[in-house]
Amino acid sequence: MRNDFEFRIKSTFLSQRPRKEGSLIAAVSIQAILLVSLICWKDPQMFRLLAAVPQRVLVEHEYWRLITAIGVHADLRHFASNAVFFIFFSYLLYGYLGFWIYPVSILVLGSLTHYLALLTYADNIHLVGASGVVYLMAGFWLTFNVLVQRTRSLAKRLMQAIGIGLLVLVPTNLSPEVSYRTHLIGCTIGVMAAMGYFQSRKERIRSLETIEIEEF
């Protein structure tokens, strides 16, 4: 008699619970961003000091602006548009991947996102806000999830990623004040970084999968 078996992945690295400190890290992060924004709303001089400006960064080498610009927002509406998704993705990235991915790598890659965006702008533009970083985190998380979560078929994972991506990343209307190129750069860097991270740790990630064997 011939027995046939089917192997099914029952759980993966992402099936475990995220670190319990994830919600705290996300809350502290968004509070820090809000604090910087409040300071800038109260004192316009601080806005000019912390914003990412091509002349200041590319010519005068004030590279710290690439990070501080993440915390600067034009107004409360601008802050609120970024806050929910920033909290969501920072919670997931820290909760599953830890300190060296979020906040360390995300801040480094967020700075790179701003730097590349500034290369495309006129000298006096002020680039501010966390949206580039939100798109970076979204691109990273959605790509990582597709690569890791093999409890579902690849088609289902891709459809889920596309669905969430459309909800989170595609604007419902266009505004001349929004830097869509920064969004695109951030998302692209996030996708590439997730692929590199996954490949560098693929063996360990796969070793955490549990397999169910079905005989028929």
Report pLDDT for 144.
Answer: 98
Q: What average pLDDT does this structure show over 102-119?
A: 98
Query: Is 114 strand, coil or helix?
Result: helix
Confidence of residue 214 (pLDDT cuts 50, 70, 90): low
* Domain assignment of residue 40, given as a range: 5-171+178-215
Confidence of residue 113 (pLDDT cuts 50, 70, 90): very high
pTM over cut 0.75: yes
Least confident range from 4-8, 34-38, 123-127, 158-162: namely 4-8
Distance CA 37, CA 57 (A): 20
Query: Do 30 and 86 meet the contact criterion of CB atoms below 8 Å apart?
Result: yes
Distance CA 65, CA 17 (A): 35
Name residues whose C-beta falls within 8 Å of residue 186's C-beta, 6 or more positions apart in sequence.
110, 113, 131, 132, 133, 134, 135, 136, 139
Per residue in 131-177, pLDDT (tens digit) is: 999 999 999 999 999 999 999 999 999 999 999 888 888 887 778 88
Cα of 175 vs its chain's centroid, Å: 22
Distance CA 131, CA 7 (A): 41
Report pLDDT for 2.
Answer: 54
Confidence of residue 4 (pLDDT cuts 50, 70, 90): low
> Is residue 12 predicted with pLDDT exceeding 80?
yes
> Is residue 1 predicted with pLDDT exceeding 70?
no
> Is residue 121 predicted with pLDDT exceeding 80?
yes
Q: Nearest 10 degrees: CA dihedral of 66, 71, 72, 78?
A: 120
Per residue in 86-102, pLDDT (tens digit) is: 999 999 999 999 999 99
Please name every residue paired with 52 in a beta bridge, in sequence order, or none if there are none. 127
Report pLDDT for 114.
Answer: 98
- Mean pLDDT, the chain, as a whole number? 93
Report pLDDT for 3.
Answer: 55
> Is residue 59 predicted with pLDDT exceeding 80?
yes
Q: Nearest 10 degrees: CA dihedral of 214, 153, 204, 209?
A: -30
Per residue in 21-52, pLDDT (tens digit) is: 999 999 999 999 999 999 999 999 999 999 99
Distance CA 133, CA 88 (A): 12
Q: Nearest 10 degrees: CA dihedral of 92, 191, 186, 110?
A: 60
> Is residue 215 predicted with pLDDT exceeding 70?
no
Number of H helices, E strands in the chain: 10, 2
Domain count, the chain: 1
What's the CATH code of the domain at 129? 1.20.1540.10
